[in-house]
Protein backbone atom coordinates (compact mmCIF):
# COMPACT_ATOMS: atom_id res chain seq x y z
CA UNK A 1 0.00 0.00 0.00
CA UNK A 2 2.79 2.41 0.93
CA UNK A 3 6.36 1.83 -0.25
CA UNK A 4 8.28 3.21 2.72
CA UNK A 5 12.00 2.68 2.92
CA UNK A 6 13.70 2.26 6.28
CA UNK A 7 15.58 5.43 7.17
CA UNK A 8 19.15 5.49 5.92
CA UNK A 9 21.59 4.65 8.72
CA UNK A 10 24.60 4.26 6.41
CA UNK A 11 26.10 7.59 7.45
CA UNK A 12 25.27 7.47 11.17
CA UNK A 13 28.92 7.38 12.22
CA UNK A 14 29.75 10.42 10.09
CA UNK A 15 26.71 12.31 11.36
CA UNK A 16 27.48 11.46 14.97
CA UNK A 17 31.13 12.44 14.52
CA UNK A 18 30.06 15.82 13.20
CA UNK A 19 27.78 16.29 16.22
CA UNK A 20 30.41 15.08 18.70
CA UNK A 21 33.15 17.40 17.41
CA UNK A 22 31.15 20.61 17.72
CA UNK A 23 32.53 23.16 20.21
CA UNK A 24 30.84 21.66 23.26
CA UNK A 25 31.35 18.83 25.70
CA UNK A 26 30.31 15.43 24.39
CA UNK A 27 26.52 15.10 24.61
CA UNK A 28 26.11 18.57 26.09
CA UNK A 29 23.12 19.45 23.87
CA UNK A 30 21.24 16.43 25.13
CA UNK A 31 18.14 15.43 23.19
CA UNK A 32 18.87 18.02 20.50
CA UNK A 33 21.78 15.83 19.45
CA UNK A 34 19.66 12.72 18.87
CA UNK A 35 17.12 14.93 17.13
CA UNK A 36 19.82 16.28 14.80
CA UNK A 37 20.88 12.71 14.01
CA UNK A 38 17.31 11.75 13.05
CA UNK A 39 16.89 14.84 10.89
CA UNK A 40 20.17 14.15 9.08
CA UNK A 41 19.17 10.51 8.55
CA UNK A 42 15.96 11.58 6.82
CA UNK A 43 16.95 14.83 5.07
CA UNK A 44 20.61 14.08 4.38
CA UNK A 45 23.89 14.51 6.23
CA UNK A 46 25.08 17.56 4.27
CA UNK A 47 23.34 20.71 5.51
CA UNK A 48 19.80 19.39 5.99
CA UNK A 49 17.12 22.10 5.88
CA UNK A 50 13.48 22.32 6.96
CA UNK A 51 11.57 23.60 3.94
CA UNK A 52 7.99 24.93 3.85
CA UNK A 53 6.78 23.18 7.03
CA UNK A 54 3.05 22.49 6.96
CA UNK A 55 0.64 22.09 9.89
CA UNK A 56 -2.31 19.93 8.87
CA UNK A 57 -5.29 19.98 11.24
CA UNK A 58 -7.88 17.29 10.53
CA UNK A 59 -11.43 17.69 11.89
CA UNK A 60 -14.30 15.22 12.18
CA UNK A 61 -17.16 14.20 14.45
CA UNK A 62 -17.73 10.95 16.32
CA UNK A 63 -20.98 9.07 16.82
CA UNK A 64 -20.01 8.05 20.34
CA UNK A 65 -20.21 11.71 21.38
CA UNK A 66 -24.02 11.44 21.26
CA UNK A 67 -23.81 9.22 24.35
CA UNK A 68 -22.12 11.91 26.42
CA UNK A 69 -18.38 11.23 26.69
CA UNK A 70 -17.22 14.84 26.60
CA UNK A 71 -17.93 18.16 28.30
CA UNK A 72 -19.04 19.58 24.94
CA UNK A 73 -21.56 18.54 22.26
CA UNK A 74 -20.53 17.72 18.70
CA UNK A 75 -21.59 21.17 17.51
CA UNK A 76 -18.43 22.52 19.12
CA UNK A 77 -16.34 20.76 16.45
CA UNK A 78 -17.92 22.98 13.80
CA UNK A 79 -17.56 26.04 15.98
CA UNK A 80 -13.88 25.36 16.57
CA UNK A 81 -13.20 24.76 12.88
CA UNK A 82 -14.74 28.17 12.24
CA UNK A 83 -12.48 29.58 14.95
CA UNK A 84 -9.44 28.02 13.23
CA UNK A 85 -10.34 29.66 9.95
CA UNK A 86 -10.94 33.00 11.67
CA UNK A 87 -7.51 32.78 13.32
CA UNK A 88 -8.65 32.78 16.93
CA UNK A 89 -7.58 29.40 18.33
CA UNK A 90 -4.42 28.38 20.16
CA UNK A 91 -3.14 26.59 17.07
CA UNK A 92 -3.46 29.84 15.10
CA UNK A 93 -1.49 31.75 17.72
CA UNK A 94 1.29 29.17 17.88
CA UNK A 95 1.61 28.56 14.13
CA UNK A 96 1.83 32.30 13.52
CA UNK A 97 4.51 32.56 16.18
CA UNK A 98 6.77 29.76 14.94
CA UNK A 99 6.24 30.09 11.18
CA UNK A 100 4.07 27.08 10.39
CA UNK A 101 1.72 27.30 7.43
CA UNK A 102 -1.65 26.08 8.73
CA UNK A 103 -4.39 24.29 6.84
CA UNK A 104 -7.69 22.94 8.16
CA UNK A 105 -9.25 19.83 6.64
CA UNK A 106 -12.88 18.77 7.09
CA UNK A 107 -12.72 14.98 7.18
CA UNK A 108 -16.34 14.56 8.28
CA UNK A 109 -17.81 17.01 10.78
CA UNK A 110 -21.56 16.60 11.29
CA UNK A 111 -22.56 19.46 9.02
CA UNK A 112 -20.31 20.82 6.29
CA UNK A 113 -19.42 24.48 6.70
CA UNK A 114 -20.78 26.42 3.78
CA UNK A 115 -19.36 29.63 2.39
CA UNK A 116 -16.29 29.56 4.64
CA UNK A 117 -13.11 29.95 2.67
CA UNK A 118 -10.09 28.05 3.89
CA UNK A 119 -11.66 24.72 4.89
CA UNK A 120 -10.43 21.87 2.69
CA UNK A 121 -13.17 19.37 1.90
CA UNK A 122 -12.03 15.78 2.37
CA UNK A 123 -15.25 14.53 3.91
CA UNK A 124 -15.77 10.82 4.40
CA UNK A 125 -19.23 11.30 5.89
CA UNK A 126 -21.15 13.31 8.47
CA UNK A 127 -19.56 11.91 11.60
CA UNK A 128 -18.68 8.29 12.27
CA UNK A 129 -21.02 5.60 13.49
CA UNK A 130 -21.24 5.14 17.27
CA UNK A 131 -18.42 2.67 17.81
CA UNK A 132 -20.08 1.05 20.84
CA UNK A 133 -22.99 0.00 18.62
CA UNK A 134 -21.57 -0.47 15.12
CA UNK A 135 -18.49 0.18 13.03
CA UNK A 136 -17.27 3.74 12.77
CA UNK A 137 -16.98 3.40 8.99
CA UNK A 138 -16.43 0.89 6.21
CA UNK A 139 -13.05 -0.42 5.20
CA UNK A 140 -13.64 1.36 1.91
CA UNK A 141 -13.91 4.67 3.77
CA UNK A 142 -10.55 4.00 5.43
CA UNK A 143 -8.94 3.39 2.05
CA UNK A 144 -10.60 6.49 0.61
CA UNK A 145 -9.31 8.52 3.56
CA UNK A 146 -5.80 7.28 2.89
CA UNK A 147 -6.11 8.30 -0.78
CA UNK A 148 -7.33 11.78 0.14
CA UNK A 149 -4.54 12.29 2.67
CA UNK A 150 -1.94 11.00 0.21
CA UNK A 151 -3.10 13.44 -2.46
CA UNK A 152 -2.82 16.31 0.00
CA UNK A 153 0.64 15.31 1.21
CA UNK A 154 1.83 14.81 -2.37
CA UNK A 155 0.72 18.34 -3.22
CA UNK A 156 2.73 19.74 -0.31
CA UNK A 157 5.71 17.59 -1.28
CA UNK A 158 5.57 18.91 -4.84
CA UNK A 159 5.60 22.43 -3.40
CA UNK A 160 8.87 21.74 -1.59
CA UNK A 161 7.57 20.80 1.85
CA UNK A 162 9.72 18.23 3.68
CA UNK A 163 8.08 18.35 7.12
CA UNK A 164 4.45 18.00 8.12
CA UNK A 165 2.87 18.25 11.55
CA UNK A 166 -0.50 16.78 12.35
CA UNK A 167 -3.24 18.04 14.63
CA UNK A 168 -6.93 17.30 15.04
CA UNK A 169 -10.29 18.51 16.25
CA UNK A 170 -13.27 16.33 17.01
CA UNK A 171 -15.52 16.03 20.04
CA UNK A 172 -15.32 12.42 21.26
CA UNK A 173 -12.03 11.60 19.58
CA UNK A 174 -10.18 10.66 22.78
CA UNK A 175 -12.68 7.79 23.10
CA UNK A 176 -11.83 6.60 19.60
CA UNK A 177 -8.09 7.01 20.24
CA UNK A 178 -8.35 5.03 23.48
CA UNK A 179 -10.19 2.22 21.68
CA UNK A 180 -7.52 2.15 18.96
CA UNK A 181 -4.79 2.06 21.59
CA UNK A 182 -6.38 -0.82 23.49
CA UNK A 183 -7.08 -2.78 20.30
CA UNK A 184 -3.54 -2.38 18.90
CA UNK A 185 -1.56 -2.79 22.13
CA UNK A 186 -3.69 -5.12 24.22
CA UNK A 187 -3.67 -2.62 27.08
CA UNK A 188 -6.65 -2.62 29.43
CA UNK A 189 -9.28 -0.02 28.64
CA UNK A 190 -8.88 1.55 32.07
CA UNK A 191 -5.23 2.27 31.21
CA UNK A 192 -6.16 3.90 27.90
CA UNK A 193 -9.17 6.04 28.71
CA UNK A 194 -8.59 9.45 30.25
CA UNK A 195 -10.73 12.43 31.16
CA UNK A 196 -10.23 14.17 27.83
CA UNK A 197 -11.27 17.78 28.16
CA UNK A 198 -12.04 17.41 31.88
CA UNK A 199 -15.15 15.28 32.30
CA UNK A 200 -16.65 14.55 35.70
CA UNK A 201 -16.56 11.18 37.48
CA UNK A 202 -19.91 9.96 36.14
CA UNK A 203 -19.05 10.82 32.54
CA UNK A 204 -15.61 9.24 32.95
CA UNK A 205 -17.20 6.01 34.13
CA UNK A 206 -19.60 6.04 31.16
CA UNK A 207 -16.76 6.74 28.75
CA UNK A 208 -14.77 3.73 29.96
CA UNK A 209 -17.87 1.54 29.77
CA UNK A 210 -18.65 2.60 26.19
CA UNK A 211 -15.07 2.07 24.99
CA UNK A 212 -15.10 -1.37 26.62
CA UNK A 213 -18.40 -2.08 24.89
CA UNK A 214 -16.97 -0.97 21.54
CA UNK A 215 -14.08 -3.41 21.83
CA UNK A 216 -16.46 -6.23 22.72
CA UNK A 217 -18.78 -5.45 19.80
CA UNK A 218 -15.89 -5.56 17.31
CA UNK A 219 -13.74 -8.18 19.05
CA UNK A 220 -13.57 -10.61 16.11
CA UNK A 221 -12.39 -7.91 13.66
CA UNK A 222 -9.61 -6.24 15.62
CA UNK A 223 -6.72 -8.36 14.37
CA UNK A 224 -5.78 -5.98 11.55
CA UNK A 225 -4.91 -2.27 11.89
CA UNK A 226 -7.04 -1.27 8.90
CA UNK A 227 -10.03 -3.05 10.43
CA UNK A 228 -9.30 -1.42 13.79
CA UNK A 229 -9.53 1.99 12.12
CA UNK A 230 -12.76 0.99 10.38
CA UNK A 231 -14.36 -0.37 13.54
CA UNK A 232 -13.34 2.16 16.19
CA UNK A 233 -11.47 4.94 14.39
CA UNK A 234 -12.40 8.46 13.37
CA UNK A 235 -12.39 10.10 9.97
CA UNK A 236 -9.69 12.52 11.14
CA UNK A 237 -7.61 9.73 12.71
CA UNK A 238 -7.79 7.74 9.48
CA UNK A 239 -6.58 10.69 7.42
CA UNK A 240 -3.80 11.49 9.89
CA UNK A 241 -2.67 7.87 9.61
CA UNK A 242 -2.69 8.08 5.83
CA UNK A 243 -0.85 11.40 5.87
CA UNK A 244 1.92 9.94 8.04
CA UNK A 245 2.37 6.95 5.75
CA UNK A 246 2.34 9.14 2.65
CA UNK A 247 4.86 11.57 4.14
CA UNK A 248 7.28 8.80 5.08
CA UNK A 249 6.96 7.34 1.59
CA UNK A 250 8.15 10.73 0.31
CA UNK A 251 11.05 10.96 2.77
CA UNK A 252 9.44 13.73 4.79
CA UNK A 253 9.70 14.34 8.53
CA UNK A 254 6.52 13.94 10.59
CA UNK A 255 5.80 15.78 13.84
CA UNK A 256 3.30 13.83 15.92
CA UNK A 257 1.22 15.89 18.35
CA UNK A 258 -0.58 14.41 21.37
CA UNK A 259 -2.77 11.46 22.30
CA UNK A 260 -5.03 11.33 19.25
CA UNK A 261 -2.24 11.96 16.76
CA UNK A 262 -0.19 9.28 18.53
CA UNK A 263 -3.06 6.82 18.09
CA UNK A 264 -2.84 7.53 14.36
CA UNK A 265 0.93 7.05 14.57
CA UNK A 266 0.42 3.71 16.31
CA UNK A 267 -1.92 2.57 13.53
CA UNK A 268 0.55 3.76 10.89
CA UNK A 269 3.41 1.83 12.51
CA UNK A 270 1.26 -1.31 12.66
CA UNK A 271 0.53 -0.93 8.93
CA UNK A 272 4.17 -0.26 7.98
CA UNK A 273 6.84 -0.31 10.73
CA UNK A 274 9.28 1.71 8.59
CA UNK A 275 7.16 4.84 9.10
CA UNK A 276 8.37 5.05 12.71
CA UNK A 277 11.82 6.27 11.66
CA UNK A 278 10.38 9.46 10.16
CA UNK A 279 8.44 10.47 13.26
CA UNK A 280 9.33 13.15 15.81
CA UNK A 281 7.10 13.11 18.88
CA UNK A 282 6.39 16.64 19.99
CA UNK A 283 5.20 16.26 23.55
CA UNK A 284 3.73 14.02 26.21
CA UNK A 285 0.20 15.19 26.79
CA UNK A 286 -1.63 15.06 30.10
CA UNK A 287 -4.11 12.52 28.74
CA UNK A 288 -3.90 9.35 30.82
CA UNK A 289 -2.89 6.83 28.17
CA UNK A 290 -0.40 8.93 26.29
CA UNK A 291 2.70 8.05 28.31
CA UNK A 292 1.96 4.33 27.89
CA UNK A 293 1.29 4.81 24.17
CA UNK A 294 4.63 6.58 23.77
CA UNK A 295 6.33 3.66 25.51
CA UNK A 296 4.79 1.25 22.99
CA UNK A 297 6.07 3.47 20.19
CA UNK A 298 9.52 3.66 21.86
CA UNK A 299 9.22 7.42 21.62
CA UNK A 300 10.84 10.10 23.75
CA UNK A 301 8.85 13.32 23.34
CA UNK A 302 10.60 16.67 23.08
CA UNK A 303 8.33 18.45 25.55
CA UNK A 304 6.24 17.74 28.61
CA UNK A 305 4.08 20.74 29.41
CA UNK A 306 0.95 19.15 30.86
CA UNK A 307 -1.00 20.06 27.72
CA UNK A 308 -4.09 18.23 26.51
CA UNK A 309 -5.63 20.59 23.98
CA UNK A 310 -4.92 18.82 20.71
CA UNK A 311 -5.26 20.93 17.56
CA UNK A 312 -1.55 20.32 16.84
CA UNK A 313 -0.52 22.81 19.53
CA UNK A 314 2.26 20.64 20.96
CA UNK A 315 3.56 19.91 17.47
CA UNK A 316 3.68 23.63 16.69
CA UNK A 317 5.69 24.36 19.84
CA UNK A 318 8.19 21.65 18.87
CA UNK A 319 9.15 23.32 15.58
CA UNK A 320 11.66 25.80 17.11
CA UNK A 321 13.45 22.88 18.78
CA UNK A 322 13.66 21.05 15.47
CA UNK A 323 14.99 24.18 13.81
CA UNK A 324 17.53 24.57 16.63
CA UNK A 325 18.76 21.02 16.05
CA UNK A 326 19.17 21.73 12.33
CA UNK A 327 20.94 25.02 12.95
CA UNK A 328 23.48 23.75 15.46
CA UNK A 329 24.23 20.81 13.17
CA UNK A 330 24.78 23.09 10.16
CA UNK A 331 26.23 26.24 11.71
CA UNK A 332 28.04 25.45 14.95
CA UNK A 333 31.83 25.34 14.60
CA UNK A 334 33.85 22.24 15.24
CA UNK A 335 36.86 22.36 17.55
CA UNK A 336 39.09 22.22 14.46
CA UNK A 337 37.18 25.07 12.76
CA UNK A 338 37.50 27.23 15.88
CA UNK A 339 41.15 26.40 16.48
CA UNK A 340 40.37 24.97 19.91
CA UNK A 341 42.68 22.22 21.10
CA UNK A 342 41.35 19.72 23.62
Cα end-to-end distance, the chain, whole Å: 52
Phi, psi of 305 (to 5 degrees): -115, 5
119: β partners: 104
Residue 316 and residue 48: Cα distance in Å, rounded?
A: 20
Residue 133: CA count within 13 A, CB half-sphere: 9
Active site residue 311: yes
- Nearest CA to 253 out of 7, 31, 58 is that of 7
> Which CA distances in Å does 95 have to 32, 92, 241, 314?
21, 5, 22, 10
Listing DSSP states for 144-166 in one string gives: HHHHHHHHHHHHHHHTT--EEEE
8 Å CB contact between 300 and 276: no
Query: Which of 311, 331, 336, 341 is the catalytic position?
Result: 311
Indicate the Cα dihedral angle 30, 254, 187, 224, nearest 10°. Answer: -150
> Which DSSP symbol is given to 172?
T
Order of strands across the sheet with 54-60?
119-121, 101-108, 54-60, 163-169, 253-256, 279-281
On whether the CB atoms of residues 164 and 50 are closer than 8 A, the answer is no
**Closest Cα to residue 100, out of 21, 163, 18?**
163
CA distances from 224 to 192, 253, 258 (A): 19, 26, 23
Nearest to 312 by CA among 176, 163, 187: 163
Residues assigned a catalytic role: 311
Amino acid sequence: MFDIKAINTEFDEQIQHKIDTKTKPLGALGDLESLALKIAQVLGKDKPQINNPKMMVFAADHGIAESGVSIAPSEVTTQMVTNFINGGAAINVFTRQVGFDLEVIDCGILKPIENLEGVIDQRLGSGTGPIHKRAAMTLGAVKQGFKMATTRVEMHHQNGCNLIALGEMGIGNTSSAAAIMSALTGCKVEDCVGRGTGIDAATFKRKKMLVEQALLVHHSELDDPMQVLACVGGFEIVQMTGAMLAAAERNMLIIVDGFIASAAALAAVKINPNVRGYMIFAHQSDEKGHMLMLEFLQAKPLLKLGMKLGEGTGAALALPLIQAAVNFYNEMASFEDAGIEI
